[in-house]
Amino acid sequence: MNLFEKRYPGERSSFQVGDLNFGMDFVWIAGPCAVEEETSLQQMAETLGSRLDMLRGGVFKPRTSPYSFTGLGEEGLSILTRVGRKLKKPVLVEFLEPQQVDEFAGEVDMIQIGARNMYNYPLLKRAAQSGKPILLKRHFAATLDELLSAVEYILKEGNEKVVLCERGIRSFEPRYRNCLDLTAVVHLQQITRLPVLVDPSHAAGDSSMVQKLALAALSAGAQGLLLEVHPNPICSLSDAAQALTPQEYLNLRFKAEKLSTFL
């Protein structure tokens, strides 16, 4: 029997991270693709204020090209956790290797397993064993059964604090970065008790599409959003084209709150 399955219709698992309840609350996670600099990160988080539930920021970046910015590493982690502590926001950080989990899991509130590492079983296992809440992204070429097998590695270790994240899959269409699979979001809600979040930023690859995809994800039943927001997107050292400005993020949240009254 698979642990991710719903045992009865409507069953939904939930868990707390600080004041947040994944599975019950609609969760807003936002921050830059990569942590770059402390003052502007703090100012941005202050601007988002109560409209931000959890602060994200990459410090160990898995980049397609080895010549791209790969993050500030440990220094970036210190910046992110300092800002998180000052603003009383939990932080989400991606780890790429089991050793990073061993060294740094104690400093973060939630671990992200990125799309590229969905198939990294030693990493899944070690992240699960840390006991930390985990956000597991779907690989851009993974079937839902492969995603659910990956999450099973986490659940099998006795770690139930896990959410799935749809971030777009590769399709035949070259005009945008990925195709946001909202059918998967609806279907996953039907078959698994685990919360499902959506990352429209990596799906679109273009900030002008992010708001609409985010609202569509909310309508499709997602239980939260993961959004890339940068204080000054054109200067972003990674994924500049898809980053929202703080104002665009606030505007999206305002619209989402209005839309949710109809759902």
Candidate segments 12-20, 109-117, 123-131, 229-237, binder of ligand PEP by CB under 6 A: 109-117
Q: Which residues pair with 22 in a beta bridge?
A: 15, 25
Instruction: Give burial (CB, 10 Å; 0-12/13-18/19+) of 58.
Output: buried
- CB nearer to ligand PEP: give 24 or 74: 74
Question: Could you tell me how far CA 8 lies from the centroid of its own chain?
Answer: 27
Q: What angle do CA 101, 50, 242 make, to 5 degrees?
A: 65
Site string for ligand PEP, 167-206 (x = CB under 6 A): x-------------------------------x--x----
Place of tokens 């994944």: 22
Candidate segments 18-26, 73-81, 111-119, 252-260, binder of ligand PEP by CB under 6 A: 111-119
The whole-angstrom separation of Cα 149 and Cα 152 is: 5
Q: Which residues pair with 98 in a beta bridge?
A: none
State yes or no: residue 181 binds Mn ion (CB under 5 A): no
State yes or no: residue 31 binds ligand PEP (CB under 6 A): no
State yes or no: residue 57 binds ligand PEP (CB under 6 A): no
Supply the minimum distance, in Å, between the C-beta of residue 203 and ligand PEP.
9
- CB nearer to ligand PEP: give 3 or 206: 206
State yes or no: residue 243 binds Mn ion (CB under 5 A): no
Instruction: Give burial (CB, 10 Å; 0-12/13-18/19+) of 93.
Output: buried
User: In sequence order, what DSSP letters do the residues of 34-61 get, joined into one string?
Assistant: B---HHHHHHHHHHHGGG-SEEE-BSS-
The whole-angstrom separation of Cα 248 and Cα 30 is: 12
Supply the minimum distance, in Å, between the C-beta of residue 250 and ligand PEP.
21
Candidate segments 45-53, 184-192, 219-227, 236-244, binder of Mn ion by CB under 5 A: 236-244
215 closest CA partner among 163, 177, 180, 188: 180
Candidate segments 6-14, 65-73, 114-122, 152-160, binder of ligand PEP by CB under 6 A: 114-122
Place of tokens 């609202």: 215
Q: Which of 239, 243, 246, 256 binds Mn ion (CB under 5 A)?
A: 239
State yes or no: residue 115 binds ligand PEP (CB under 6 A): yes
Q: Which chain residues interact with ligand PEP by CB under 6 A?
A: 33, 58, 62, 94, 114-116, 137, 167, 199, 202
Give the binding site for Mn ion (CB under 5 A). Answer: 33, 239
